[in-house]
Amino acid sequence: MSVDEEAGRSAERVVFIDDEAEVCRANRQSLELDGFTVETFGAAGPALAAIIANPPGLVVTDVRLPDLDGIALFARIKAIDPELPVILITGHGDIRMAVGAMREGAYDFLSKPYPAESLMVSARRALERRRLVLENRALRARLEAAVEEDPAFLGISPEMVRLRRLVREVAQADVDVLVFGETGSGKEVVASALHRWSRRASRNFVAMNCGALPDSVVESELFGHEAGAFTGALKRRVGRIEHAQGGTLFLDEIESMPLGLQVKLLRVLQERAVEPLGSNEIRSIDMRVVAATKVDLGQAAAQGAFRDDLYHRLNVITIAIPPLRDRREDVMLLFQEFLTRAATRFGREAPAITAAVREHLRRHDWPGNVRELGHFAERHALGLGQNEVSPPEAATAGTLAEQVDRFERGLIREELIMAGGDVRIAAESLGTPRKTLYDKIARHGLTPTDYR
């Protein structure tokens, strides 16, 4: 059984164990009235076999059982799955024993006689924790699969699948490429992949940020210079273009390149040759150029802020990177990976991803895209992330119906992701009839096959 299937089938299942049939009957009725699915057993042996065969979301067991006491049963359950919550039911004389079991990881204990509501409250909290555990397991499984498939392009969203396929295809074509994406969206990752998956992979990948250098040195950095070409040029310098011979030249923030230099770059792209400063020698260049921009170069060219001829020369193929807000199903996957990396780098255990953090990840628009998410993961790894988690009241404004509708769509979409597009599993996880879920999926414009 896959992790997704386990999450779907066990979300609200409770195994209740007591050797008194009347106690089983009464507690089963109370739990079922509260919306849980319940299996009752009169002894530990049959219950343990059922738990192994089909792990539930919660085990509630009396300490005094005819074949194996509840503490020993808890130890066996812990050996099978240390994160499966167990609530112990104790008599007065067993309380010290139950407290000791809680130190070993038991979720809670209830002392007889206990009101039904106490069991309901504890069960709801235990199952919520179990739900988070299973979601994290499913996320880790998807993360491992995604990393194995391609560590550079983590993502399960349809947008990311399409981007990955497009980059692979374009990489083989060996043409110049214009990469468009917002700040922090991963433009250099795309450029690097275009190089790595191309026939040029064994040669240099040379990156230059056109906006990070003063105008006075950009020309020398790009074209190179001979000794004595200008004051301070004491020796010959090979420029980025020449250094990219046989490989890939990546020009980030191309929109920041001075207009005068754009003319010279255009000539290089047209003639595939470079003339270093202070030299009369024209050197042939075999390279691919990948230019990246966060602005619409077509619009910039129309406004005179970028050369129109250079724009059309660069715009052989354009790869647009979708912003993170348009592929929200990738947020949790990326956050988990960034959190793991950060925790390893800081030499500490990765903190739990709480329900509040999950809600923040789901709600936030991530204007800084993947870079912003990565920085948030680093702060969370250091124990600082909770300071940024907004309370539920800070959710996007709107009418009650709009907010409920928005929340329902997000919840269904997330369950489809966790279930790999399987509506049956998602329906079980959400505790709703399959037909009802199909109706809601259609109403929200979702397509289950997009998440497979």
User: pLDDT tens digit string along 376-414?
Assistant: 999 989 887 666 675 444 444 556 676 677 778 777 877
Asked whether the domain spanning 158-322 has the same topology as the one spanning 3-146, the reply is yes
pLDDT higher than 50, residue 1: no
pLDDT at 5: 45
Does the domain at 158-322 match CATH 3.40.50.300? Answer given as: yes
The proportion of the chain whose per-residue pLDDT surpasses 70, expressed as a percent, equals: 85
Average pLDDT, the chain: 83
- List CB contacts of 85: < 8 A, sequence separation 6 or more: 57, 58, 59, 107, 108, 126, 127, 129, 130
pLDDT higher than 60, residue 87: yes
pLDDT higher than 50, residue 3: no
Nearest to 295 by CA among 431, 409, 124, 180: 180
pLDDT higher than 60, residue 2: no
pLDDT higher than 90, residue 190: yes
pLDDT higher than 90, residue 146: no
Task: Give the pLDDT confidence of 317-336 residue by residue, as tens digits.
Answer: 999 999 999 998 889 888 98
pLDDT at 408: 80
pLDDT higher than 60, residue 249: yes
Looking at residue 247, its amino acid is G
Confidence bin at 4 (pLDDT 50/70/90): very low
Nearest to 85 by CA among 114, 115, 128, 119: 128
Task: Give the pLDDT confidence of 228-245 residue by residue, as tens digits.
Answer: 556 666 677 788 888 999
CA 358 to chain centre: 11
Looking at residue 186, its amino acid is G
Sign of CA dihedral 327, 332, 337, 342: positive
The larger pLDDT score, comparing residue 117 to residue 450, is at: 117
Least confident of 12-26, 142-156, 188-202, 274-288: 142-156
Average pLDDT over residues 164-169: 91
Strand order in the sheet with 58-62: 37-41, 13-17, 58-62, 86-90, 108-111
pLDDT at 390: 55
Architecture of domain 3-146: 3-Layer(aba) Sandwich (3.40)
pLDDT at 181: 93
Which of 52-61, 126-135, 153-162 has the highest mean predicted lDDT (pLDDT)?
52-61
Average pLDDT over residues 137-146: 67
Confidence bin at 177 (pLDDT 50/70/90): very high
Confidence bin at 110 (pLDDT 50/70/90): confident
**Residue where the block lists tokens 């235990």:** 126
Are the C-beta atoms of 50 and 59 separated by less than 8 Å? no
Are the C-beta atoms of 99 and 135 separated by less than 8 Å? no
- List CB contacts of 430: < 8 A, sequence separation 6 or more: 411, 412, 415, 437
Task: Indicate the domain borders of the chain.
Answer: 3-146, 158-322, 326-451
pLDDT at 416: 76
Strands 283-284 and 86-90: unpaired
**Residue where the block lists tokens 């109370």:** 30
Confidence bin at 92 (pLDDT 50/70/90): low
Confidence bin at 148 (pLDDT 50/70/90): low
Confidence bin at 207 (pLDDT 50/70/90): very high
- List CB contacts of 295: < 8 A, sequence separation 6 or more: 255
